[in-house]
Amino acid sequence: MAMQKSKSTAVLFLIGAFLAGGALGFTADRMLQRDKGASHGGRESMSARVARELSLSAEQRKSFDSLMERRREQIRAVYRPIRPQLDSLDKVGRGISDSAHAQVRRILNPDQQLKWDAMRDRAHKNFEASRKRFNDRR
């Protein structure tokens, strides 16, 4: 009984961590997307939305875009020195995620394993697409 409760707790924790990671990745991607160009689904960029909602003149829009570009450069400058540490943490996180995925697979039946693997594949594809968009802007 205690073993089953431990497994259930572990599975719930892993699923929670998986969902939290997905939510964090989605949120980070949205924050990165909002400043530069149109994002997925043809949504308007933050810059275009601000220009429209504030009825900015062409001159104001140019100044606004320039200010936002400087802001992006400043943020990049802040992250540049710690990028190696972030990459290292990413590798550690992937190892933890791989281990958790394997542990969850062991408690699933074959049909559930296929679905679990497909869920992970979708999450990886979405994450890699987000990472590519972010890296393309750097």
Angle between helices 110-137 and 2-33 (to 10 degrees): 30
pTM of the model: 0.45
Show the low-confidence residues of the chain (pLDDT under 70). 1-5, 13-14, 16-43, 137-138
Where exactly are the structural domains of the chain? 2-137
* 75-104 confidence digits (pLDDT tens): 889 888 988 888 888 888 888 989 999 999
